Amino acid sequence: MVDQESDNRRNKLALRQALPSEYLLRLGTQNVAFGDAISLQGIQAGRIPSILTAQPYVDQGRPSQEDIDTFFAQCGFIRLPDDMMMQQYISKPFWYRPSDSILAADANPENFSRIDDDIIVPIDLITHPMDASLMHSTAQQNGVDMNRLIQSVMGYPIG
């Protein structure tokens, strides 16, 4: 899950292990945000239980990062500045959709599948709701004016 870590008292965005309930929230959010069809198949018992899921797409390879960036822009997301995340996550782009406060992280080619020449789908994104006030606070603590960023990318003022 995306959470915050302290970096010189600036709460930067970072990734952490998800609880099972958070993992299921991620899958549901991905279904809603991208019209996906991930389904829960079951729970495999064991010393370390596993959540079994299925996604109905055929893998035809990985898209480029440019294709992924275009995909997110078309879905109404803005790429968060590197200043807002811990240094080790800069190669794993974080995206935010202000219209419904959904955050998508780890958005690199390994987590997407090409199902056709023109169609790509996320297969292992970290996608979940993110409290808008927390997002704005994190931005402010890291010298980013979130309202200005949203307005410059999306072209409309934020109230």
pLDDT in tens, 105-137: 999 899 999 988 788 999 889 999 998 888 888
Q: Is residue 91 one of the residues assigned to a domain?
A: yes
Q: In angstroms, rounded to a whole number, what is the distance separating the alpha carbons of residues 73 and 95?
A: 9
What is the domain extent for residue 140?
A: 59-154
How many domains does the chain fold into? 1
Read off φ and ψ for residue 140, nearest 5 degrees: -60, -45
- The answer to whether 113 and 45 are in contact (CB under 8 A) is no
pLDDT at 91: 79
Q: Is residue 115 one of the residues assigned to a domain?
A: yes
Q: Is residue 123 one of the residues assigned to a domain?
A: yes
- The answer to whether 135 and 96 are in contact (CB under 8 A) is yes
Q: In angstroms, rounded to a whole number, what is the distance separating the alpha carbons of residues 111 and 146?
A: 26
Q: In angstroms, rounded to a whole number, what is the distance separating the alpha carbons of residues 54 and 133?
A: 34
- Report DSSP state, residue 20: H
Interhelix angle 132-141/146-154, nearest 10 degrees: 110
Q: Is residue 51 one of the residues assigned to a domain?
A: no
Q: Is residue 77 one of the residues assigned to a domain?
A: yes
pLDDT digits (tens, 9 = 90+) for 82-110: 888 887 777 788 999 999 999 999 998 99
Its sign, for the CA torsion 120, 15, 129, 73, is: negative
Q: Is residue 142 one of the residues assigned to a domain?
A: yes
* pTM of the full structure: 0.84
Longest dimension (CA), the chain: 51
